[in-house]
């Protein structure tokens, strides 16, 4: 059970207003699974936090909010400044003194004021203003007082972390602390009984403030963040990591990894538990946002296109990336654009078997040239240049020797003794291939998101690639539900039916490139709960069939409604009802209908493009063709219909005799689907109808 419902990370800034246009070194806030929010100054950021916390308190939502600045100072500092040991006393002390407006703040003067309380010069330094400030040196080396250690204990462990005393200069965090703590202090007072501060207080209220330091997982951030602005990517990745840690029940362990003696100084979340933290960063990228399938309120029968648009918007990749040898890339989805390592062909070569020589202009005549000894063959180049006026034998794929720009086809030549006669006409450059005429080194040859086929693998190899970054294979669990089901080979009584959907859907998902496992479960809530939980732990997406409606034995939808998330999509589609889209422990479930034809159509139409995006690929649109119909049909308005169809010898689409969605034999009879529009129409033989070949669904 996770400790928090929502995880929000804040990249703070000690600087002044950064303007309307989102930019770096401003304040960025991101909730896990949401888009980063840009806030140009601290006043707006405090407002945002205030509103967000207020909403959470009203809704009983538990928030974990991380801030990327130190919550405290080396031990002893607080007591010298405030007279109290409690580090939160310093928060209040700073809150009282800090004057902060979007265009200016008093952090340097406060630093100087505090310095007066310590012997010598320091510990604060780094006056970033033009005017000199008494007691606040510009350089760290100008300090004389050594009353305070340079770093908190946690900063000695967090390699590369800046000391809290430095108030300006690249990377300095001191200004963030002085401007941040007063804001946290105010929020803490405002929501007094709701906020606890880690690690100073027990986290026994609904809102927790924790200290974070994105550099702890900088490598993972660099790899995963795609945002053009670094700060935005940082908060996005770290919010997702903390959320994932929590969902995996590991956040408590991380929170507990604080040495007792450091509780008064503050601690960075994840230091001391780096392995767990990093594992969460790399183990598995984002899951889908919770309840991402929610339909807008008031939607009744959703037209297919609208349903597809909603589903498309809800999807995102959920798989990690890995390096894959080119030869194994077939069926994998590219996680980055691939550029040619070398040109193809790498050097000018011959397109035919023949004789090479130099030619300046089109020659219509017969030419006789002395033939040099030796030859240029593929992989065995000719070892010298060919002087103007002479020829040499060259074979297909052989590099053109220096001096050769044209090749005469062997069939157009006659060799006699050490001369060669070439029958014209022939053009300069004939039968040769230029270096890079196909692909130039550095050119993008395949783009991110492409699911590679055999030709693609050949291309990547040809242009010199050895490995490609690909998305991990999506893992799918196919679950057939129903007390009546039996597996192939089992004895089945009359009241039982063999599981057709399980094998069918599993084969389809394998064809789509996924790692597929299957399981069957009866109409039993307890067993189903266990099967869902196992699937959620072991796979990325679940396809169920059966039990998706709202009847007494429709346990898939009932269980999702009770313990997961569900949206029963009433899609205006035949065959296709009912389609239940939901999530179990963050893993999407495509609850397909039990009738095999409806299960097939919904899988092909909805699951296929959605899974493709989850696997890092494109949203897939099936390719259809307009063909004359070989049938007549009157169709009513208000739903789209798919008919099992095939192209007859006369080139017309004929349809299966029955539209019954249990008639699975019709799927094998057919070679595709005829798609009839949402609107009412009358189809007469010869009218054009849209035929989608099954090949379009990779089924
Ligand atoms: P349900 O959606 O569970 O009410 O099932 C609707 C119809 O589909 C019933 O006739 C079921 O027996 C049938 N059905 C459900 N699951 C399967 C399956 N895996 N294979 C074949 N038929 C199924
Ligand atoms: Mg059933």
- Tell whether pTM > 0.75: no
Would you state the pLDDT for residue 607? 97
Would you say the CB of residue 602 lies under 6 angstroms from ligand 1? no
* Distance (Å) of CA 134 to CA 39, 106, 114, 437, 522: 33, 14, 12, 70, 79
Would you state the pLDDT for residue 225? 78
Burial class (CB in 10 A: 0-12, 13-18, 19+), 379: exposed
In the reported structure, the alpha carbon of residue 161 is separated from the centroid of ligand 1 by a whole-number distance in angstroms of 59
Residue numbers in the chain where pLDDT is lower than 50? none
Would you state the pLDDT for residue 290? 67
Pocket test for ligand 1, best of 499, 544, 546 (most atoms within 8 A of CB): 546
In the reported structure, the alpha carbon of residue 490 is separated from the centroid of ligand 1 by a whole-number distance in angstroms of 17
Would you say the CB of residue 575 lies under 6 angstroms from ligand 1? no
Ligand 1 atom with least separation from CA of 481: 16
Would you state the pLDDT for residue 297? 63
> Considering only CA atoms, which residue is closest to atom 10 of ligand 1?
595
Would you say the CB of residue 545 lies under 6 angstroms from ligand 1? yes
Instruction: Please tell me the distance from the alpha carbon of residue 456 to that of residue 459, in angstroms, as a whole number.
Output: 5
Would you say the CB of residue 343 lies under 6 angstroms from ligand 1? no
For residue 637, how many C-alpha atoms fall within 13 Å in the half-sphere facing its CB?
A: 1
Contact 596, 662 (CB under 8 A): yes
Instruction: Please tell me the distance from the alpha carbon of residue 610 to that of residue 606, in angstroms, as a whole number.
Output: 6
Contact 562, 555 (CB under 8 A): no
Pocket test for ligand 1, best of 595, 597, 603, 664 (most atoms within 8 A of CB): 595
Would you say the CB of residue 497 lies under 6 angstroms from ligand 1? yes
Would you state the pLDDT for residue 284? 54
Residue position matching structure tokens 């999530």: 583
Number of the ligand closest to the Cα of 499 = 1
What digits encode the pLDDT tens for the residues 332-352? Answer: 999 999 999 999 999 999 999
Strands, E assignment, 99-154: 100-101, 104-105
In the reported structure, the alpha carbon of residue 481 is separated from the centroid of ligand 2 by a whole-number distance in angstroms of 6
Ligand 1 atom with least separation from CA of 500: 20
Instruction: Please tell me the distance from the alpha carbon of residue 302 to that of residue 298, in angstroms, as a whole number.
Output: 10
Would you say the CB of residue 591 lies under 6 angstroms from ligand 1? no
- What is the token pair recorded at 19? 């303007």
Pocket test for ligand 1, best of 520, 522, 545, 578 (most atoms within 8 A of CB): 545
């Amino acid at each position: 059970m996770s400790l928090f419902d929502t995880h929000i990370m804040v990249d703070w800034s000690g600087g002044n207003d950064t303007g309307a246009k989102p930019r770096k070194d401003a304040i960025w806030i991101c909730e896990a699974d949401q888009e980063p929010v840009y806030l140009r100054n601290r006043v707006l950021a405090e407002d945002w936090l205030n509103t967000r916390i207020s909403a959470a308190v009203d809704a009983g939502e538990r928030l974990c909010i991380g801030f990327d600045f130190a919550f405290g100072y080396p031990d002893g500092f607080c007591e010298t400044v405030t007279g109290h040991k409690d580090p939160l006393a310093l928060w209040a002390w700073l809150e009282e003194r800090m004057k902060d407006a979007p265009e200016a703040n008093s952090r340097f003067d406060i630093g100087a004021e505090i310095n007066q309380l310590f012997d010598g010069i320091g510990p604060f330094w780094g006056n970033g203003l033009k005017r000199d400030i008494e007691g606040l040196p510009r350089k760290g080396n100008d300090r004389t007082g050594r009353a305070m250690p340079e770093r908190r204990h946690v900063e000695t462990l967090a390699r590369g972390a800046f000391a809290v005393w430095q108030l300006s200069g690249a990377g300095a965090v001191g200004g963030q602390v002085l401007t941040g703590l007063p804001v946290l202090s105010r929020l803490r007072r405002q929501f007094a009984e709701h906020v606890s501060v880690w690690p100073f207080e027990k986290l026994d209220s609904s809102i927790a403030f924790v200290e974070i330091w994105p550099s702890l997982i900088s490598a993972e951030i660099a790899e995963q963040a795609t945002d053009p602005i670094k700060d935005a990517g940082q908060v996005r990745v770290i919010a997702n990591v903390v959320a994932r840690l929590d969902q995996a029940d590991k956040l408590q362990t991380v929170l507990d990894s604080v040495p007792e003696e450091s509780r008064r100084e503050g601690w960075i979340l994840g230091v001391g538990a780096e392995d767990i933290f990093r594992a969460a960063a790399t183990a598995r990228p984002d899951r889908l946002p919770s309840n991402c399938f929610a339909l807008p309120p008031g939607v009744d029968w959703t037209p297919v296109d609208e349903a597809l648009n909603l589903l498309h918007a809800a999807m995102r990749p959920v798989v990690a990336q890995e390096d894959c040898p080119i030869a194994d890339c077939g069926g994998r989805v590219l996680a980055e654009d691939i550029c040619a390592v070398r040109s193809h062909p790498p050097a000018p070569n011959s397109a035919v078997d023949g004789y090479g020589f130099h030619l300046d202009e089109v020659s219509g005549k017969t030419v006789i040239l002395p033939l040099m000894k030796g030859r240029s063959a593929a992989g065995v180049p000719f070892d010298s240049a060919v002087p103007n006026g002479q020829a040499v034998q060259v074979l297909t794929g052989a590099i053109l020797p220096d001096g050769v720009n044209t090749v005469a086809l062997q069939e157009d030549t006659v060799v006699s003794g050490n001369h060669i006669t070439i029958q014209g006409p022939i053009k300069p450059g004939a039968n040769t291939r230029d270096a890079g005429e196909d692909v130039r080194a550095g050119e993008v040859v395949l783009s991110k998101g492409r699911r590679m086929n055999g030709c693609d693998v050949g291309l990547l190899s040809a242009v010199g690639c050895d490995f490609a970054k690909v998305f991990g294979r999506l893992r799918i669990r196919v679950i057939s539900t129903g007390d009546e089901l039996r597996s192939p080979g089992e004895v089945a009584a009359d009241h039982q039916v063999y599981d057709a959907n399980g094998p069918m859907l599993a084969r389809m998902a394998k064809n789509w490139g996924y790692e597929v496992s299957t399981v069957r479960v009866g109409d039993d809530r307890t067993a189903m709960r266990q099967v869902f939980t196992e699937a959620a732990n072991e796979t990325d997406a679940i396809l169920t069939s059966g039990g998706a409606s709202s009847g007494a034995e429709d346990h898939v939808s009932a269980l999702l409604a009770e313990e997961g998330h569900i949206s029963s999509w009433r899609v205006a589609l035949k065959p296709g009802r009912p389609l239940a889209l939901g999530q179990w422990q963050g893993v999407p479930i495509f609850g397909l209908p039990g009738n095999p034809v409806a299960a097939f159509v919904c899988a092909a139409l909805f699951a296929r493009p959605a899974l493709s995006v989850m696997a890092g690929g494109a949203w897939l649109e099936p390719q259809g063709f307009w063909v004359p119909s070989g049938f007549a049909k009157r169709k009513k308005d208000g739903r789209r219909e798919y008919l099992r169809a095939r192209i007859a010898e006369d080139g017309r689409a004929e349809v299966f005799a029955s539209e019954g969605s249990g008639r699975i034999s019709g799927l094998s009879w057919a070679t595709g689907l005829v798609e009839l529009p949402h609107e009412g129409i009358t189809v007469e033989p010869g009218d054009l109808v849209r035929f989608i070949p099954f090949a379009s669904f990779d089924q």
